Chain A
Amino acid sequence: DGGITQSPKYLFRKEGQNVTLSCEQNLNHDAMYWYRQDPGQGLRLIYYSQIVNDFQKGDIAEGYSVSREKKESFPLTVTSAQKNPTAFYLCASSMTGDQPQHFGDGTRLSIL
């Protein structure tokens, strides 16, 4: 089945530690995205990538980094500079144009 796989489902971070969230898609989509969702809120865009080896900052990129070395993969690193990382993180992908974005099942990140 084609889809988007996010791992792990739950992640805990210690103070001062960087952690990486995985996102893999086998839909052959060009564009990929990372969103953050806080309780009772909508989604806010962290980073997005239209093609391999290219990505742009979204609305809340500070404290995060990404890479896009392969079309299928768009990992997100939450760095120690992100002071309030506890949230639900969703990865999405889409074809270019007006096609809807398809989402993974998300990763819940908490601070130890």
Chain B
Amino acid sequence: AQKITQTQPGMFVQEKEAVTLDCTYDTSDPSYGLFWYKQPSSGEMIFLIYQGSYDQQNATEGRYSLNFQKARKSANLVISASQLGDSAMYFCAMRDTGFQKLVFGTGTRLLVSP
């Protein structure tokens, strides 16, 4: 079975600094997709970034980048130049084999301080 592990329950960062949120995954399928979502206190899930298992380059979307290390089965999210509005829960997820069903990790709460 596929599994996502996020070992950091909470992270603190100062405004304008970079922060890395860890995600490791477990799958025996050679083809998979990895996603990061942001969940503010209001509850909605906001898609941030996607990495396919066959993508040659690490994904980037504005201030978000994904540090994809396939051999280590890790897909860490890097947020550069943190902003106060980045304070939220962050979830790593993997697309299930054969369909788009997502398997989620337990999340990391990020707090950005002034």
Chain A residues proximal to chain B, CB less than 8 Å:
31, 33, 40-45, 48, 50, 58, 88, 90, 92, 94, 96-106, 108
Chain A residues, Cβ within 8 Å of B100: 31, 94, 96-99, 101
Q: Contact: A98 with B42, CB < 8 Å?
A: no
Report the number of A-B residue pairs with Cβ-Cβ less than 8 Å: 59
Contact A105/B42 with A43-B91, A98-B33, A98-B52 known, Cβ cut-off 8 Å: yes
- Smallest Cβ-Cβ distance to B48: which chain A residue: A100
User: Given contacts A103-B37, A103-B45, could you give 8 more A-B pairs where the C-beta distance is less than 8 Å?
Assistant: A42-B91, A96-B100, A98-B52, A101-B100, A102-B47, A103-B44, A104-B44, A105-B43
Residues in chain B within 8 A of chain A (CB atoms): 4, 33, 35, 37, 42-47, 50, 52, 91, 93, 95, 99-102, 104-107
Q: Is the CB of B35 within 8 A of A106?
A: no
Q: Are A42 and B101 in contact (CB under 8 A)?
A: no
| Distance from A29 Cβ to chain B, minimum over Cβ atoms (Å) | 10
Q: Are B101 and A92 in contact (CB under 8 A)?
A: no
- Is there an interface contact between A42 and B104, defined as CB atoms closer than 8 Å? yes
What chain A residues lie within 8 Å of B52 (beta carbons)? Answer: 98
Instruction: Determine the chain B residues whose CB is within 8 A of the CB of A41 once the complex forms.
Output: 106-107
